[in-house]
């Protein structure tokens, strides 16, 4: 699949390319359209602490290059890519180097959330590094039953949150099982973040949710500059252009790297609904 010309054309819709230069070129083009970016180097499935250290070094180069080139963007990563599956302490050491670098360069690192078995460790590390450097934020998944408590605490601590629905298949004890319940919880958490959060990121392609956030602005509850929408590169370009034209802040999640195939296969395997999501957007475009 990775050497197939057809597969490569399909991947180009959703992955910026194989190299950092590819991602930076995409970032420049999106910046010119009034869109900021968060770059993600694919490859969270590391098999050793040596690979985790190599991933850390890639992210250090990303942070430095973004600052040097003036790209309007930051980076996003998963802690398993930094070795969390092997040991917490080496992962923390890797992440601390990135947080310190981001603070020095006056930029930002978003720690992605993985499945619910990682939630406590991810939040623990986010809190520690936010207190020390102030240059990190985290992702919260609306599908998890615990998320309201987590959002309330993160708002009190001034930690920036990206709110998403969640792409992992979770047990019913940890997560809402119906789309209706996930959507309801997302809206409740979004309003909490818009009321009390520190520059929240509303990550969704759901127009109903987008319109609810816009209604908050129209009612004067929050300004357009106090939060941002976030979407995936290559998904709902029509909606992306509309939001920018209306003066809203928009950031695209831009993945790049050689590991695009396992990345998408994991996303599709984790949640069958993701397959239909991708197909709908291919047809739409």
State how far Cα 40 lies from the chain centre.
8
Beta bridge partners of 144: 175
112 in catalytic set: yes
- Among residues 56, 92, 160, 162, the one annotated as catalytic is 162
- Among residues 40, 85, 112, 115, the one annotated as catalytic is 112
The residues assigned a catalytic role are: 112, 162
């Amino acid at each position: 699949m990775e050497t197939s010309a057809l597969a490569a054309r399909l991947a180009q819709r959703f992955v910026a390319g194989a190299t950092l230069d590819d991602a930076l070129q995409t970032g420049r083009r999106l910046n010119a359209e009034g869109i900021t970016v968060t770059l993600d180097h694919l490859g969270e499935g590391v098999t050793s602490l040596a690979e985790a250290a190599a991933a850390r070094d890639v992210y250090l180069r990303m942070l430095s290059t973004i600052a040097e080139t003036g790209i309007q963007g930051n980076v996003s990563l998963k802690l398993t890519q930094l070795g969390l599956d092997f040991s917490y302490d080496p992962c923390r050491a890797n992440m601390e180097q990135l947080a310190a670098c981001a603070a020095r360069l006056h930029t930002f690192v978003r720690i992605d959330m993985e499945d619910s078995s990682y939630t406590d460790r991810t939040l623990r590390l986010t809190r520690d590094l936010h207190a020390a450097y102030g240059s990190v934020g985290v992702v919260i998944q609306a599908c998890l039953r615990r998320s309201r408590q987590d959002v309330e605490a993160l708002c009190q601590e001034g930690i920036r949150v990206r709110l998403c629905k969640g792409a992992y298949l979770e047990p019913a004890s940890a997560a809402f099982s119906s789309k209706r319940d996930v959507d309801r919880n997302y809206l409740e958490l979004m309003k909490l973040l818009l009321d009390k959060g520190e520059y929240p990121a509303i990550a969704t392609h759901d127009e109903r949710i987008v319109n609810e956030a816009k209604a908050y602005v129209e009612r004067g509850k929050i300004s357009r500059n106090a939060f941002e929408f976030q979407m995936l590169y290559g998904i709902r370009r029509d909606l992306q252009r509309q939001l920018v034209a209306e003066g809203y802040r928009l950031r695209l999640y831009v993945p790049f790297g050689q590991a695009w195939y396992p990345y998408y296969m994991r996303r599709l395997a984790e949640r069958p609904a993701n397959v239909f999501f991708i197909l709908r957007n291919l047809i739409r475009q």
